[in-house]
C-alpha cells in the first residue's frame, strides 16, 4: 500500500502541483521530483542545516519536513535567490569574501543569511553569528561567512540588486 497525496505549492515563485508519497521528505521532493539540487542533504535529522529552505519566508529544515506538510506554502530554495542570470548580492559577497570552500553548507547559509537580512538589514557581527549558529560549516571557521553577510548587508543598503559577478556558468 502506498499512501499518496496531491499537493499544490509555490516554489521559487512558480506554482507547482504534484502527487507525492506521504513519507516523501520535502528535501527529496525538491531534489528528486523538481530537480532543484540546491537544498543539500547532510545529517537527515535536522542538525546540520544544509537542507535549509524558506517556507513562507521562514527558514526550515527540509529534511525533517514532509512534502505533504508543504502543501499550500511558498518555498524559496537557493535557486530562487539569483535572478536574471545574476547572482544575488549575498552570493556576490560570499564569492568576494571566499565564504565557502567545499560549498556543501552554502545554500543553507545563504538562505539563513537572506532571512536574517530581511528581518534585520543592519545586523552586528554577533547577530550574524547567532543567526548562522543553526547551520554547520566544516571548512571556513565561519569568519569569512560572517564578513560576507555583513558586506552583503552594506551592499543591499547601498541599493545593490545583483549587478556584479555573472554566475560561473555564463563566464566560461
Partner 1 sequence: MKPPPFVYHAPGTVAEAATLLHEAGEEGRVLAGGQSLIPLMNFRLARPGHLVDITSVRELDYIRAEDGRLRIGAAARQAAVERDPAAAERAPLLVEALGFVGHEPIRHRGTVVGSLAHADPAAEIPAVALAMEAELTAVHAQGERRIAASEFFTGPFSTGLETGELLTEVSFPVWPPGTGHAFVEFARRHGDFAVAGAAVLLHLDGEVVDRVAIALCGVAGTPVRATEAERRLLGERPTPAVMAEAAEVATSRLSPASDVHGSSDYRRQVARAYVRRALALAAERARGGTR
Q: Site residues (CB under 8 A) for partner 1?
A: 1-3, 5, 21-23, 25, 28, 44-46, 49, 52, 55, 58-61, 63-66, 68-69, 71, 112, 130-131, 133-134
Q: Which residues are paired to 86 by β-bridges? A: 83
Q: Which residue lies nearer to partner 1 by CB, 1 or 158?
A: 1
Instruction: State the nearest-atom distance from the C-beta of 51 to partner 1, in Å.
Output: 10
Instruction: State the nearest-atom distance from the C-beta of 78 to partner 1, in Å.
Output: 15
Q: Which residue lies nearer to partner 1 by CB, 49 or 162?
A: 49
CA distance 150 to 48: 22
CA distance 158 to 135: 27
Is the CB of residue 101 less than 8 Å from the CB of residue 72?
Answer: no
Instruction: State the nearest-atom distance from the C-beta of 97 to partner 1, in Å.
Output: 23
Instruction: State the nearest-atom distance from the C-beta of 52 to partner 1, in Å.
Output: 6
Q: Which residue lies nearer to partner 1 by CB, 12 or 65?
A: 65
Is the CB of residue 60 less than 8 Å from the CB of residue 70?
Answer: no
Q: Print burial letters for 67-102: b (CB count within 10 Å at least 16), e (below 16).
A: bbebeebebbbbbbbbeeebbbbbbbbbbbbebbee
Instruction: State the nearest-atom distance from the C-beta of 170 to partner 1, in Å.
Output: 32
Q: Which residue lies nearer to partner 1 by CB, 58 or 166?
A: 58
Is the CB of residue 74 less than 8 Å from the CB of residue 28?
Answer: no
Q: Give the residue carrying C-alpha cell 528528486.
A: 32
H/E stretch holding 112 reads helix 106-119
Q: Which residue lies nearer to partner 1 by CB, 56 or 161?
A: 56
Amino acid at each position: 500500500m502506498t499512501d499518496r497525496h496531491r499537493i499544490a505549492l509555490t516554489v521559487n515563485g512558480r506554482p507547482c502541483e504534484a502527487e507525492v508519497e506521504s513519507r516523501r521528505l520535502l528535501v527529496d521532493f525538491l531534489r528528486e521530483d523538481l530537480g532543484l539540487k540546491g537544498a543539500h542533504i547532510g545529517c537527515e535529522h535536522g542538525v546540520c542545516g544544509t537542507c535549509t529552505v524558506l517556507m513562507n519566508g521562514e527558514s526550515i529544515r527540509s529534511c525533517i519536513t514532509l512534502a505533504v506538510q508543504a502543501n499550500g506554502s511558498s518555498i524559496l530554495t537557493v535557486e530562487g535567490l539569483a535572478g536574471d542570470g545574476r547572482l544575488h548580492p549575498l552570493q556576490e559577497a560570499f564569492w568576494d569574501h571566499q565564504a565557502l570552500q567545499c560549498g556543501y553548507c552554502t545554500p543553507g547559509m545563504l538562505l539563513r543569511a537572506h532571512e536574517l537580512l530581511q528581518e534585520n538589514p543592519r545586523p552586528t557581527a554577533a547577530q550574524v553569528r547567532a543567526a548562522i549558529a543553526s547551520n554547520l560549516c566544516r571548512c571556513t571557521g565561519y569568519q569569512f561567512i560572517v564578513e560576507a553577510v555583513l558586506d552583503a548587508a552594506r551592499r543591499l543598503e547601498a541599493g545593490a540588486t545583483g549587478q556584479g559577478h555573472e554566475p560561473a556558468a555564463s563566464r566560461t
